[in-house]
Every structure is written in C-alpha cells, then in structure tokens.
Amino acid sequence: MKILFYTPQSDATAWLADLRCALPEADVREWQPGDRAPADFAIVWRPPHDMLAGRSDLRAVFNLGAGVDAILALEREQPGTLPSNVPLVRLEDTGMAEQMAEYVVHAVLRYMRRFDEYALLQAEHRWHVLDPHPRESFTVGVLGLGVLGTHVARVIASFGLPVRGYSRSARHIDGIATYAGPAQLDAFLDGVKVLVNLLPHTPETHDVLNAGTFAKLADHAYLINVARGAHLVERDLLDALHTGRIAAATLDVFREEPLPAGHPFWSEPRITITPHSSALTLRAESVAQIAQKIGALTRNEPVTGIVDIARGY
C-alpha cells in the first residue's frame, strides 16, 4: 500500500515517522513536486493543485483537520485539486472535543463569574462584591451540534447552566434544548447570553455572526467564536461592542490569520484573542484514527467522517 503525505504547516518528518509506525506495511512518502507515482491514499493539509489533480488511483483523501473549508476553497479556486469520485475524509474529534470544551468552559465561566470585572477592580485596589449573573437566565447557545459542538454543549450543561444547540437537521441530546434549520434560528437565538460558534464554514454559514444575529441575543451577550473567522462580520462585532449589545468576545479564529498588525481587534479591550489554538490537531490521535480508517477501507468496511462535498462539511 502506498501513501502520499503533504502539509505546508508542521514538521512532516514527525508525521511520516508516526504514520510508518502505525502502518508498517505501507510505503509512506512525502509528496514532492512532480511526483506522479501511484498511491492508494493521500493525507493532506492544503495540498497544491498538482499533488492530486487527475489521479485515478486513490481510494481516499484524508484531511488533516476537522474543518474542510480550506481544501474545498482550493477546489473551487482550482478545480481538480481534489480527484473526482474519491472520498474526502476529515478528522473526527482526535482529542479536539476535549480541548474545545476546556477553552469554551473557561470563557463562559470567566464571563459568568465576572473575572474580567474583578481584574479591573483589582487594578484600582477596590474590594467590591459584584452581583452574580442569574444562573437560570445565563443561557448558553451552541451553533453547530456536531462532534465538537455536542461535546461542548454537554460539558457546559454539566455546570447546571441552561444550554441550547442549533444544527441543520433535528437532533436530540439529553439536557440540551435543540433547534434545527433556519426556521428555528430566531427561537434559538432569542435571549441567549453566551453564543458559541462551532459551525463549519460553508456558503450557508458565511457571515452568520452579524448584527441581525447579535440583535436577537440577550442584552450584554458574550460571543465565543472558535469555528472560522469568515463566520463573523468583524465591523458588526465592533459596533455591537460599542453599543453594549455585545459585552465582550473571545475569538480564536479570524478572517485573516495571523491577525494583521494594526487590526482593530488587537486594541479592543473587550476582545480576547487566541491564535487559532482552541483545539489543535494532535498528531498521535490523528495518525491512530487515519490508520484505523485506512485499515477499514482496505477491508472494504465503511468509515465515518466522509465529507459531503455538495453540503460543504
């Protein structure tokens, strides 16, 4: 079995070593420009057009991330980047759900327990107890109830907070009030105190975090965007912060990454910024999952995580 590997981002050597260890029978090679030799599987992050274009030998392409928006955008820009009729398989969880829950819980509790306001009081050397947020109306709304959103929603609910979730198709999750499809979006948003975005970026979800969305939330709502920068209309967030409609935001993802020097978000004290690090791709977990799926496909068994290209996720 022959496996092609490519990532522009991290240390390919370590990935190649781990893949060879997990799949000792496979010939795993890093793709180099001009390599047209046969391969059975490709494991990629943002592959160059020439890597996979026109190949008819592949049984599957594995995306080294949960989100497939980048690879689908490459395909739109340069058709043929993905070979036709070859399944595209994404990472499912691989340790990201736990990381995402830690990140979101931190942000939710920081707002609920007013830590930022206590930090300001401390800076003024003031001893002053702030009224707690009423727990029963501190509703957390999670946009996207997939692998990550479902786990995050469950973990937040375990703190006894009211939690709602929104997805495309109807879902039932114990302890979570669920809403599905555009017809239920307004009901989902109505009165939400903390909005957490864990949607995939697709043409349907582009710009979903906008002034109209913010207007439906509870007063002084909080925004946590851990999905994609293109979900957020940045000007609308700055305006909502200035009017107080949104009290503050924690943002892990941005339209342009790294966030450019001089971007107004850097100097907005009500925005907390992290560098797309809420849930990192963990090599050991990812290699184990991909190796397990390659084994299943080789035995003609079904695998999960196959992307619906038309749907965009």
Q: Which of 51, 198, 223, 294 binds ligand NAP (CB under 6 A)?
A: 198
Q: How far apart are CA 241 and CA 306, in angstroms?
A: 39
Ordered alpha helix ranges (H), the chain: 12-22, 49-52, 69-77, 96-112, 115-123, 147-157, 185-189, 211-216, 234-243, 283-298
The reply on whether position 164 binds ligand NAP by CB under 6 A is no
Q: How far apart are CA 313 and CA 306, in angstroms?
A: 9
Tokens of 212: 């109209």
Q: Which of 43, 58, 66, 101 binds ligand NAP (CB under 6 A)?
A: 66
The reply on whether position 313 binds ligand NAP by CB under 6 A is yes
Q: Least distance (Å) from ligand NAP to the CB of residue 310?
A: 12
Q: Least distance (Å) from ligand NAP to the CB of residue 129?
A: 35
- Residue 272's Cα: distance from chain center in Å? 17
Query: Catalytic: 55?
Result: no
The reply on whether position 205 binds ligand NAP by CB under 6 A is yes
Interface residues with ligand GLV (CB under 6 A) are 65-67, 281
Q: How far apart are CA 198 and CA 134, in angstroms?
A: 25
> Could you say which of 90, 228, 231, 283 is catalytic?
228
The reply on whether position 45 binds ligand NAP by CB under 6 A is no
The reply on whether position 95 binds ligand NAP by CB under 6 A is no
Query: Catalytic: 49?
Result: no
The reply on whether position 3 binds ligand NAP by CB under 6 A is no
Q: How far apart are CA 268 and CA 3, in angstroms?
A: 46
Q: Least distance (Å) from ligand NAP to the CB of residue 151?
A: 8
Ordered alpha helix ranges (H), 82-195: 96-112, 115-123, 147-157, 185-189
Omega prior to 258 cis, within 30 of 0: yes
The reply on whether position 167 binds ligand NAP by CB under 6 A is yes
Q: Which is nearer to ligand GLV, 66 or 157 (CB)?
A: 66
Segment 247-276, which members bind ligand NAP (CB under 6 A)? 252-253, 276
Edge-to-edge strands, sheet with 271-273:
177-180, 163-167, 140-143, 194-197, 221-225, 246-251, 271-273
The reply on whether position 96 binds ligand NAP by CB under 6 A is yes
Q: Which helix (H) or strand (E) holds 279?
A: none
Q: Which residues are catalytic?
A: 228, 276
- Report the interface residues with ligand NAP, using CB under 6 A: 66-67, 96, 144-149, 166-169, 171, 198-202, 204-205, 226-228, 252-253, 276, 278-279, 313
